[in-house]
Amino acid sequence: MTAVDPKELREFSQGADAWFRDNVPADPGFMLPLTFMEVGTDQQFNFLRDWQCKVWEAGYLGAAWPKDYGGGGLDQSFQKAATEAMRRHNAPIMLNAIGLNWTGPLLLDMGSEEQKQNYIKRILSAEDVWCQGFSEPENGSDLGNAQLRAVRDGDDYVLNGSKIWTTHGSYAKHMILLARTNFDAPNKYAGLSFFLAPMDAAGIETTPIRKLTGEFGFTQTFFTDARIPADCLMGEEGQGWLIAMRTLEYERGARGGQAGGYVITPLDAFSILELAKKAQRDGAPVMDDPVMRDRLVEFLIEAQGLKLCQERGRIAPLNTDRPMALSLTGKLMWTEFARRLNEFAITLLGAKGGYYVGDESAVDDGLWTRGYLNAFSATIGGGTSEIQRNIIGQHVLGLPKK
Ligand SMILES: Cc1cc2nc3c(=O)[nH]c(=O)nc-3n(C[C@H](O)[C@H](O)[C@H](O)COP(=O)(O)OP(=O)(O)OC[C@H]3O[C@@H](n4cnc5c(N)ncnc54)[C@H](O)[C@@H]3O)c2cc1C
């Protein structure tokens, strides 16, 4: 690893700051999704795709990915500086979350040279948006039991079955797909294979699913005698579980190498203070109530603690006691924190907590109510909080598998 020149990094950071200050788009006049999981209209999709492409072209996305595949070839600290600049200027989220955060790093890590050449640059530019076909109607947490059938027939695989909760299913060009190629394998995991499947193959159809917030963003995806070329197989038949597990390590942030930026609107815990000044309790601002002030301070301390834990996770010598602890707890802690903070905000709103986006009487445009309803998504997607707790129990604390 070559040492980073502090002057070069400082100049890059200043350049990023100026660029985002000048280029963050104005309010487009329609509602943007809070996270990549609620992109439900063409308007939102096109806006976010154009924005991601612009950021990449300016050199502030994929800055640490190899130059040969469209990245900037720089140290990770440069991308971190660019992402911080995005945050400072409240830039919109990156669209292609599954491409940037898990398919891309997976291909760079385990993909063939041809796959890297074909896919990586187009992930960065958002020309190709990716989706993920892991969960099935009967198998979500029990991913190893996936039943979608892939049968080799000449130069193709023929797919039959269904996937569900496919984020970006309506828009994606490719899917990372876990399918069963062998129903007689010695155990359920050994029968699985991993594909980089084209979504435009005949026989693949998607039906949008509406969310609790009224928004769309994922689909049920049906495969009916869908033929995909045999070279869509990643690795060998039977290696699907191994590759899926590596994918989940990227998805849950337990392994680094993501392209950068954020795909979920950053949570500003301090913004709840403004709400506490406005919201009333017994005829006085909530902020004047000492019990409520205590609760607010607890949230702020927790937010700061989580942030510092994240920083600490990046410094290897500080993680020698339980090396996997911070990387495996991050998703669980942040997503549950976001849910509890939004829930607390709703209690501050009292009866007004029932007003939603678009209601005239809604406080802050219904932002907190939307945030609360939306916060459940991230505690389920990528593995539920219960599953994360199981993983931490087994892999960090060494508890026995039941
Ligand atoms: C917003 C959103 C986006 C998503 N995007 C995608 C996507 O793009 N691609 C994709 O493939 N999937 C996606 N998912 C699906 C997600 O991965 C699954 O919903 C999740 O893994 C849970 O599976 P399930 O819904 O089948 O619930 P189940 O597995 O049926 O779980 C039901 C309940 O039982 C609990 N439970 C299950 N097993 C255990 C256990 N062993 N121990 C303790 N508790 C347990 C769960 O925690 C949960 O509370 C998305 C989900 C959401 C909410």
Angle of the 271-278 helix axis to the 325-349 helix axis, nearest 10:
20
Cα 18 to ligand 1 centre (Å): 41
Ligand 1: which of 35, 95, 102, 135 to mutate, most ligand atoms within 8 Å of CB? 135
pLDDT for the residue numbered 323: 80
Residue 39 within a domain: yes
Host domain of residue 25 = 6-127
Final residue in a domain of this structure, among 127, 147, 165: 127
Residue 245 within a domain: yes
Cα 59 to ligand 1 centre (Å): 35
Q: What is each CA distance from 77 to 83, 92, 107, 264, in whole angstroms?
A: 10, 21, 21, 21
Cα 289 to ligand 1 centre (Å): 39
Ligand 1 within 6 A of CB of 221: no
Cα 246 to ligand 1 centre (Å): 18
For residues 55 and 111, membership in a common domain is answered with yes
Helix (H, G, I), strand (E, B) or coil at 28: coil
Cα 300 to ligand 1 centre (Å): 29
Structure tokens at 192: 């699985």
Share of the chain above pLDDT 90, in %: 90
pLDDT for the residue numbered 315: 86
| Average predicted confidence (pLDDT) for the chain | 95
Task: Name, in order, each residue with C-beta under 8 angstroms of 243's C-beta and a sequence gap of 6 or more.
Answer: 106, 110, 194, 234, 235
Please identify, by atom number, the ligand 1 atom nearest to the C-alpha of residue 132: 9
Which residue has tokens 């830039």?
91
The CATH number given to whatever domain includes residue 300 is 1.20.140.10
Final residue in a domain of this structure, among 77, 97, 127: 127
For residues 237 and 278, membership in a common domain is answered with no
The per-residue pLDDT for range 361-376, each reduced to its tens digit, is 999 999 999 999 999 9
Final residue in a domain of this structure, among 251, 284, 311: 251
Residue 320: pLDDT over 90: no
For residues 359 and 244, membership in a common domain is answered with no
From the list 114, 138, 134, the residue with the least C-alpha distance to 192 is 134
The per-residue pLDDT for range 46-69, each reduced to its tens digit, is 999 999 999 999 999 999 999 999
Please identify, by atom number, the ligand 1 atom nearest to the C-alpha of residue 382: 17
Distance CA 265, CA 268 (A): 9
**Within 10 A of 183 (CB to CB), how many other CB atoms are there?**
10
Q: CA angle at residue 75 from 72 to 78, to 5 degrees?
A: 75
For residues 122 and 151, membership in a common domain is answered with no
**The pTM is what?**
0.95
Please identify, by atom number, the ligand 1 atom nearest to the C-alpha of residue 133: 11
Ligand 1: which of 98, 143, 165, 247 to mutate, most ligand atoms within 8 Å of CB? 165
For residues 110 and 191, membership in a common domain is answered with no
Which residue has tokens 């760079």?
108
Structure tokens at 91: 């830039």
Ligand 1 within 6 A of CB of 92: no
Q: CA angle at residue 140 from 135 to 144, to 5 degrees?
A: 90
In 314-366, which ranges are continuous DSSP H helix?
A: 325-349
Mean pLDDT to the nearest integer, 395-401: 91
Residue 310 within a domain: yes
Cα 3 to ligand 1 centre (Å): 42
From the list 236, 229, 177, 184, the residue with the least C-alpha distance to 202 is 229
